[in-house]
Structure 1
Amino acid sequence: MTAVWRVIVTHRNYLIALLVPLLILPLPLLVPTQEARCGYVIILMALFWCMEVLPLGVTALFPVVLFPLMNIMDSTKVCMEYLKDTNMLFIGGLMVAIAVEHCNLHKRIALGVLLILGVRPALLFMGFMSVTAFLSMWISNTATTAMMIPIAQAVLEQLHKSEHETSPAGRVAESINKAFELQEAPSKSDSSQETQTQACATLLLFLPLHPDNGHVLTVEEEEKLKDVKQLEEEKHLTFCKGMSLSVCYAASIGGIATLTGTTPNLVMKGQIDELFPANNNVVNFASWFMFAFPTMLLLLALSWIWLQIMFLGFDFRKNFGCGASASMKAKQKMAYRVIKDEHKKLGPMRFSEIAVTVLFLLLVVLWFTRDPGFMPGWATNVFNKNGKSYVTDATVVIFISLLMFLIPSEIPTYLCRNRAQQVQQQDSTRQTSVLPALLDWKTVNQKMPWNIVILLGGGFALAKGSEESGLSVWLGSKLTPLQNISSPAIALLLCLLVATFTECTSNVATTTLFLPILASMAQAICLNPLYIMLPCTLSASLAFMLPVATPPNAIAFSYGKLKVIDMAKAGSVLNILGVLTIMLAINTWGYPMFDLNHFPVWANSTSAASCK
Structure 2
Amino acid sequence: MLACLRSLRELRDPLAITLPVLMLLPLPLVLRCQEAYCGFVVLLMAVYWCTEVIPLAITAILPVLLFPMFGIMTSKEVCKQYMKDTNMLFLGGLMVAVAVETCNLHKRIALRALLLVGVRPALLMMGFMGVTAFLSMWISNTATTAMMVPIAQAVLDQLNTTGTQPGDPEQGHGQTARGQELEEKDSTVEGIQPALISPVMQTQDADVEMKVSAVPHSDAQREQQRLRKMLSLAVCYSASIGGTATLTGTGPNLVLKGQFSQIFPDNGDVINFASWFGFSFPNMLIMLTCCWLWLHLLFLGVNFGRLRMDKSPREQAAYGIIQGEYSKLGLMSFAEKLVLGLFILLITLWFTREPGFVRGWGSIFNWEGKKFVTDATVVMFITFLMFIMPSHRPRLKGWAWNRTVEAEPGIDSRERKDHRSGRLLEWKEVQRKLPWNVVLLLGGGFALAKGCEVSGLSLWLGSHLLPLQNLPPWVIAALLCLLIAIFTECTSNVATATLFLPILASMAVLIKLNPLYVMIPGTLSTSFAFMLPVATPPNAIVFSYGHLRVTDMVKAGFVLNLIGVVSATVAINTWGRAMFHLDTFPAWANISSSL
Please say if residues 523 and 608 of structure 1, whose CA atoms lie closer than 8 Å, have aligned partners that are also in contact.
Answer: no
Please say if residues 510 and 592 of structure 2, whose CA atoms lie closer than 8 Å, have aligned partners that are also in contact.
Answer: no
Match of 2:307 among 320, 331, 335: 320
Q: TM-score, structure 2 length as denominator?
A: 0.87
Match of 2:371 among 389, 404, 412: 389
**Equivalent residue, structure 2, for 1:236:** 224
Which segment drifts farther, 449-458 or 10-19? 10-19
Please say if residues 522 and 532 of structure 1, whose CA atoms lie closer than 8 Å, have aligned partners that are also in contact.
Answer: yes
**Equivalent residue, structure 1, for 2:263:** 275
Give yes or no for the alignment of 1:349 onto 2:294: no
**Equivalent residue, structure 2, for 1:408:** 390
Gaps of 5+ in 2: 169-214, 407-418
Cα deviations across residues 450-478 of structure 1 (Å, max 9, x unaligned)? 11101111111111111111222222222
Task: Tell me the CA shift for residue 607 of structure 1.
Answer: 5.0
**Equivalent residue, structure 1, for 2:356:** 373
**Equivalent residue, structure 2, for 1:103:** 103
**Equivalent residue, structure 1, for 2:410:** none
Measured at CA, do residues 18 and 160 of structure 1 come closer, stay the same or move farther in structure 2, by a change above 3 Å?
same
Measured at CA, do residues 242 and 600 of structure 1 come closer, stay the same or move farther in structure 2, by a change above 3 Å?
same
Other structure's SS at 2:535 match: coil
Give the residue type in structure 2 aligned to 1:574.
L
Measured at CA, do residues 608 and 58 of structure 1 come closer, stay the same or move farther in structure 2, by a change above 3 Å?
closer
Give distance in 2, aligned partners of 1:229 and 1:302: 32
**Equivalent residue, structure 1, for 2:316:** 333
1:186-201, aligned counterparts within 5 Å?
Answer: none
Give distance in 2, aligned partners of 1:260 and 1:369: 17
Give the residue type in structure 2 aligned to 1:310.
L
Give distance in 2, aligned partners of 1:522 and 1:281: 19
Please say if residues 517 and 582 of structure 2, whose CA atoms lie closer than 8 Å, have aligned partners that are also in contact.
Answer: yes
Measured at CA, do residues 434 and 23 of structure 1 come closer, stay the same or move farther in structure 2, by a change above 3 Å?
closer
Measured at CA, do residues 549 and 10 of structure 1 come closer, stay the same or move farther in structure 2, by a change above 3 Å?
farther
**Equivalent residue, structure 2, for 1:364:** 347
Please say if residues 41 and 66 of structure 2, whose CA atoms lie closer than 8 Å, have aligned partners that are also in contact.
Answer: yes
The structure that is helix-richer by fraction is: 1
Give distance in 2, aligned partners of 1:50 and 1:435: 43
**Equivalent residue, structure 2, for 1:87:** 87
Give distance in 2, aligned partners of 1:423 and 1:277: 52
Please say if residues 216 and 222 of structure 2, whose CA atoms lie closer than 8 Å, have aligned partners that are also in contact.
Answer: no
Give distance in 2, aligned partners of 1:6 and 1:503: 30
**Equivalent residue, structure 1, for 2:296:** 308
**Equivalent residue, structure 1, for 2:205:** none
Gaps of 5+ in 1: 172-226, 425-432
Task: Tell me the CA shift for residue 10 of structure 1.
Answer: 4.0
Task: Tell me the CA shift for residue 39 of structure 1.
Answer: 0.8
Cα deviations across residues 194-227 of structure 1 (Å, max 9, x unaligned)? xxxxxxxxxxxxxxxxxxxxxxxxxxxxxxxxx9
**Equivalent residue, structure 1, for 2:279:** 291
Between Structure 1 and Structure 2, whose CA radius of gyration is higher? Answer: 1
Give yes or no for the alignment of 1:582 onto 2:553: no
Measured at CA, do residues 434 and 308 of structure 1 come closer, stay the same or move farther in structure 2, by a change above 3 Å?
closer
Task: Tell me the CA shift for residue 435 of structure 1.
Answer: 4.2
Give distance in 1, aligned partners of 2:565 and 2:504: 17
**Equivalent residue, structure 1, for 2:478:** 492
1:12-51, aligned counterparts within 5 Å?
Answer: 12-51=12-51
Measured at CA, do residues 311 and 27 of structure 1 come closer, stay the same or move farther in structure 2, by a change above 3 Å?
same
Task: Tell me the CA shift for residue 331 of structure 1.
Answer: 1.3
Cα deviations across residues 329-365 of structure 1 (Å, max 9, x unaligned)? 1111111111001000000000000000000000000
Give distance in 1, aligned partners of 2:520 and 2:543: 30
Give yes or no for the alignment of 1:539 onto 2:521: no
Q: TM-score, structure 1 length as denominator?
A: 0.84
Give distance in 2, aligned partners of 1:575 and 1:542: 6
Give yes or no for the alignment of 1:453 onto 2:436: no
Cα deviations across residues 77-108 of structure 1 (Å, max 9, x unaligned)? 00001100000000000000010001000000
**Equivalent residue, structure 2, for 1:566:** 552
Task: Tell me the CA shift for residue 311 of structure 1.
Answer: 1.1
**Equivalent residue, structure 1, for 2:242:** 254
Measured at CA, do residues 84 and 423 of structure 1 come closer, stay the same or move farther in structure 2, by a change above 3 Å?
closer
Give yes or no for the alignment of 1:140 onto 2:128: no
Task: Tell me the CA shift for residue 2 of structure 1.
Answer: 4.3
Cα deviations across residues 227-273 of structure 1 (Å, max 9, x unaligned)? 99722111101101100110110100000000000001001111101
Cα deviations across residues 28-87 of structure 1 (Å, max 9, x unaligned)? 111111111111111111111111111010000000010001100011100001100000
RMSD of the alignment, in Å? 2.2
The sequence identity of aligned pairs, in percent, is: 60
Match of 2:252 among 238, 251, 264: 264
Please say if residues 63 and 448 of structure 2, whose CA atoms lie closer than 8 Å, have aligned partners that are also in contact.
Answer: yes
Give the residue type in structure 1 aligned to 2:334.
F
**Equivalent residue, structure 2, for 1:549:** 535
Give distance in 2, aligned partners of 1:229 and 1:284: 54
Task: Tell me the CA shift for residue 376 of structure 1.
Answer: 1.0
Give yes or no for the alignment of 1:508 onto 2:461: no
Task: Tell me the CA shift for residue 488 of structure 1.
Answer: 0.8
Which segment drifts farther, 331-340 or 132-141? 331-340
Other structure's SS at 1:306 match: helix
Other structure's SS at 2:132 match: helix
Task: Tell me the CA shift for residue 140 of structure 1.
Answer: 0.5
Give distance in 2, aligned partners of 1:495 and 1:540: 8
Task: Tell me the CA shift for residue 372 of structure 1.
Answer: 0.7
Task: Tell me the CA shift for residue 164 of structure 1.
Answer: 4.5
Match of 1:480 among 466, 470, 473: 466
